[in-house]
């Protein structure tokens, strides 16, 4: 792909794809005495995801984790395309693109670690949180100034929506 500033890609983005652990969460889990694994998500990221859905963007989650609580949270935000337990993220991405006839150059993917690498190599706008691993940072066209689980998702969604004139004036979205 051409060497362009990430801002030049924002206007053509129609699809937003995110990993969960390390992107929508800070990458830590709390393990209870019963073995349940708890994650924390940022409410501001949730608001941005809901706003993107409400504005007609394709929003997809592809994660190696398989926590059903995560699925419920994301479905509550209006996200329909949620792939959990994805051990080969390319398969899920290809299925998603084929099903909705999405061109990779119109997609943004935010990942943070090695399992995201193959997906990010073929995406229009690969992005990552500030605390992503070096290999992911090296292929990202945009590195958020925010860490995973601390507003990185909100940061990139807000930029896309602002460039496309779809951010302001949407103060009635339900996001909790």
Q: In the prediction, which pLDDT does 37 show?
A: 87
Residue 90: CATH number of its domain:
3.40.50.1000
Assess whether pLDDT exceeds 50 at residue 73. Answer: yes
Q: In the prediction, which pLDDT does 124 show?
A: 95
3-class secondary structure per residue, the chain: CCCCCCHHHHCCCCEEEECCCCCCCCCCCEECCCCCEECCCCHHHHHHHHHHHHCCCEEEEECCCCCHHHHHHHHHCCCCEEECCCCCHHHHHHHHHHHHCCCHHHEEEECCCHHHHHHHHCCCEEEECCCCCHHHHHHCCEECCCCCCCCHHHHHHHHHHHHCCCCCCCCCCCCC
Q: In the prediction, which pLDDT does 3 show?
A: 53
Task: Tell me, yes or no, whether 172 lies in a domain.
Answer: no
Q: How many domains does the chain have?
A: 1
Task: Tell me, yes or no, whether 93 lies in a domain.
Answer: yes
Its domain, for residue 125, covers: 7-163
Task: Tell me, yes or no, whether 169 lies in a domain.
Answer: no
Task: Tell me, yes or no, whether 62 lies in a domain.
Answer: yes
Q: What is the pLDDT of residues 115-159, one digit of tens each?
A: 999 999 999 999 999 999 999 999 999 999 999 999 999 999 999
Q: What is the pLDDT of residues 80-124, one digit of tens each?
A: 999 999 989 999 999 999 999 999 999 999 999 999 999 999 999
Q: What is the pLDDT of residues 8-62, one digit of tens each?
A: 899 999 999 999 999 999 999 999 999 888 899 999 999 999 999 999 999 999 9
Task: Tell me, yes or no, whether 2 lies in a domain.
Answer: no
Task: Tell me, yes or no, whether 175 lies in a domain.
Answer: no
């Amino acid at each position: 792909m051409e060497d362009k500033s990430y801002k030049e890609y924002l206007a053509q983005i129609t699809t937003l794809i995110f990993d969960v652990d390390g992107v929508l969460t800070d990458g830590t889990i709390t393990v209870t005495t019963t073995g349940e694994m708890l994650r924390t998500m940022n409410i501001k990221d949730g608001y941005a995801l809901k706003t993107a859905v409400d504005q007609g963007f394709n929003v997809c989650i592809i994660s190696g984790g398989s926590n059903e609580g995560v699925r419920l949270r994301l479905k509550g935000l209006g996200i329909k395309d949620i792939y959990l337990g994805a051990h080969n993220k390319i398969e899920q991405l290809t299925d998603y693109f084929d099903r909705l006839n999405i061109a990779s150059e119109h997609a943004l993917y935010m990942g943070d670690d090695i399992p995201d690498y193959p997906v990010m190599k073929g995406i229009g706008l690969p992005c990552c949180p500030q605390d992503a691993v070096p290999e992911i940072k090296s292929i990202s066209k945009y590195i958020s100034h925010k860490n995973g689980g601390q507003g990185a998702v909100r940061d990139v969604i807000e930029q896309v929506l602002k460039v496309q004139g779809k951010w302001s004036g949407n103060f009635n979205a339900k996001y909790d």
